Chains A and B, each alone.
Chain A
């Protein structure tokens, strides 16, 4: 049944903490006609429970997992092009500096990952291929728990090519294997303390890109990407209850995003304690463009790049265009 002013639609929405989404979560910006219940959980649990069991109605979810499901024709989840978390993942690649000095040294090596469909890993492998010619088939991949053995694999790659060697380790952690030299590198969204400490203090385990800012800017120059990690998606059942939900949630999230940047520009008071932030942002986005856009068109290069990585990494097959990932939102006709 569709919502109405006297019968607000009640639904559950899991999302992590973001300054650019906060106004929706604390209710200052309403999702029209609804009475949402928000909650926050650790990201891996949030993604796992939403992808496997749809434990709630709307969720932040791994964009790679969403893309993989949607491209395979699994349309239990309905996404909208709202990307709360975006980061370059050059800083997610850690290497044994006694064996790897340059990205090209990874050819023939063993790299640990949390699972093949982890967003940081997909973008990390993509940048190694695009910028340094290191292909997925050049490396032996070990998926496992980062700081303890065993990690449930939420989603398998459906179309993995036979020449890509992905092994699962369940009795050792990636952290331990890196220290004992059974791995040359790991690509992990959050580094365990021993790895982070070593990298910060110039120990044997280091970041592959010591000048990550320089490497990230070169990648941006070449690909025009601002990698999206997460997307907002909802259950098919919610959309069947009210087909307007993709458009309404998008409108509220977009309003919160725009409000964030309006607050940065506020000349009445320093809403954000970062002097000269406006200058920093202006350098990143030419006049008339957004630094951190939602929607399909302003993100076309980033989404197409990820789809290309998806095809190379066995997540996506055939012709899938960015708009094909958001058909319900596109048919609502409410955004770029």
Chain B
């Protein structure tokens, strides 16, 4: 069967570019609204828990390393290590989502959710900040879920020896997707959790 790894990789990168521009548009919206409402964004940003944000940053960075290492492992024909690293990546993605769940839950308990009564009483800038916070971190969390499905398929294919040392472009593409999720978070984290 004919296989073109290079074309597969270019296809993945083209998809990643559409993702960058999707989030890019949201970053433009964020920067304009922050420019118009600097004080409200600062006060609202201090409502967010920077500790949980930092913990999630560390988790994503480590998971990015484990999936990158799994490519080296498969190239060295070390299937066992590659699988271990992929399972580790999957579990860290799950921990990220659990943290996100508790973080959002706490916000909901304090009455902060889109169009809540608490938010309605606060200013326009605060509403915009929390709207962007829920939409952007929510869209990012959705990408984590998609990444987990992607990694799930990769784990299955490695088990079945359909991803091997000489046929691992799918694993590389999964890695690229996962690093994109990490890349977006690198910018989301200081813009929402570290406003000071």
Is chain B found bound to chain A in the same assembly?
no
Name B residues whose Cβ lies closer than 8 Å to a Cβ of A: none
